A and B are shown apart, each in its own frame.
Chain A
Amino acid sequence: MLELKNISKGFVDFCLRDVSFVVERGDYFILLGESGAGKSMVLESVAGLVKVDSGEILLNGRDITKEIIQKRKIGMVFQDHAIFPHLSVEENIAYSLHGTKFTREEKREKVKAIANELGIGELLARKPATLSGGELQRVALGRTLIQQPAILLLDEPLSSLDTRLKSDLRRLLRAIHRKGQTILHVTHDYEEAISLGTKIAVIHQGTIVQSGSPLEVFNHPKSEFVAHFTGAKNFFPAKLVTDNQGKFACIHESIQVRIVTDLPDGDGFILIRGEDILLSVLPAETSATNNFTGKVTEIVLNTFGVDVTIDAGIELHVLITRESLEKLGLETGKTCWVHFKASAGRFIGK
Chain B
Amino acid sequence: MNRFSYIQLAFLVLGSLVLLFILAPLTGMFLNTTAGQVFETAKEQEVRKSIWLTIYTSLAGTLVFSLAAIPLAYLLARKQFPMKKLVTGIIDLPVVIPHSAAGIALLGFVSRESVLGKMGSAVGLNFVGHPAGIAIAMAFVSIPYLINASRDGFAGVPERLEKAALTLGASPFRVFFTISLPLAWRNILSGLILMFARGMSEFGAVIVVAYHPMITPVLIYERFGAFGLKYARPVSVLFILISLALFIVLRWVAKEKNSEIVK
* A interface, CB within 8 angstroms of B: 47-49, 69-72, 74-76, 78, 80, 82, 84-86, 95-96, 98, 127, 129, 143-144, 147
Contact = CB atoms under 8 A, between A and B. Distances in A.
Given A49-B163, A82-B161, A143 B182 contact: no
- In this complex, which of A47, A75, A82 has the most chain B Cβ atoms within 10 angstroms of its Cβ? A82
B250 interface: no
A164 to B, nearest CB: 27
B166 interface: yes
21 contacts: A48-B166, A49-B167, A69-B163, A69-B166, A72-B167, A75-B167, A76-B164, A82-B161, A84-B164, A85-B262, A86-B182, A86-B261, A95-B178, A96-B168, A96-B169, A98-B170, A127-B263, A129-B262, A129-B263, A143-B168, A147-B168
A78 B164 contact: yes
A147 B261 contact: no
Given A78-B160, A80-B160, A70 B183 contact: no
B170 A84 contact: no
B183 A47 contact: no
B166 A70 contact: yes
Contacts of B167: 47-49, 69-70, 72, 74-76, 144
A47 B165 CA distance: 12
A34 to B, nearest CB: 22
A70 B179 CA distance: 15
A129 B260 CA distance: 12
Nearest to A44: B163
A47 B164 CA distance: 10
Contact of B183 (A78, A85, A95): A85
A86 B182 CA distance: 8
B82 interface: no
Interface string B163-198: 111111111101000110011000000000000000
B183 A82 contact: no
B158 interface: yes
Nearest to A100: B169
A70 B158 CA distance: 18
A82 B167 CA distance: 11
A72 B163 CA distance: 13
- In this complex, which of B169, B179, B261, B263 has the most chain A Cβ atoms within 10 angstroms of its Cβ? B169
Contact of B164 (A71, A72, A82): A82
A70 B171 contact: yes
Nearest to B175: A70
A143 B164 CA distance: 10
A48 to B, nearest CB: 8
Contacts of B182: 86
B163 A95 contact: no
Interface string B239-263: 0000000000000000000000111
A331 B1 CA distance: 76
For the complex of A and B, list the 4 residue pairs with the smallest distance between their C-beta atoms, beginning with the closest. A82-B164, A96-B168, A69-B166, A76-B167
Nearest to A50: B163
Nearest to B174: A98
Interface in B65-104: none
A129 B161 CA distance: 15
Contacts of A96: 168-170
A95 B179 CA distance: 11
Given A70-B169, A96-B170, A84 B179 contact: yes
Nearest to B166: A69
Nearest to A72: B167
A95 B164 CA distance: 11
A74 B168 CA distance: 8
Contacts of B261: 86
Given A84-B164, A84-B165, A84-B179, 10 more contacts: A47-B167, A48-B166, A48-B167, A70-B167, A82-B163, A86-B261, A95-B170, A98-B170, A127-B263, A144-B167
Contacts of A75: 167
Given A69-B166, A70-B166, A129-B263, A84 B161 contact: yes
- In this complex, which of A48, A49, A69, A71 has the most chain B Cβ atoms within 10 angstroms of its Cβ? A69
Nearest to A149: B167
A5 to B, nearest CB: 22
Contacts of B183: 84-86
A70 B164 CA distance: 10
Given A127-B263, A129-B262, A129-B263, A82 B160 contact: yes
A78 to B, nearest CB: 6
- In this complex, which of B163, B168, B172 has the most chain A Cβ atoms within 10 angstroms of its Cβ? B168
A86 B183 CA distance: 7
A70 B262 contact: no
Contacts of A143: 168
B104 to A, nearest CB: 45
Given A84-B179, A86-B182, A129-B263, A95 B160 contact: no
A248 B175 CA distance: 54
A57 to B, nearest CB: 14
B170 A82 contact: no
B109 to A, nearest CB: 40
Interface in B126-173: 158, 160-161, 163-172
Nearest to A96: B168
B233 to A, nearest CB: 47
- In this complex, which of A48, A85, A129, A147 has the most chain B Cβ atoms within 10 angstroms of its Cβ? A85
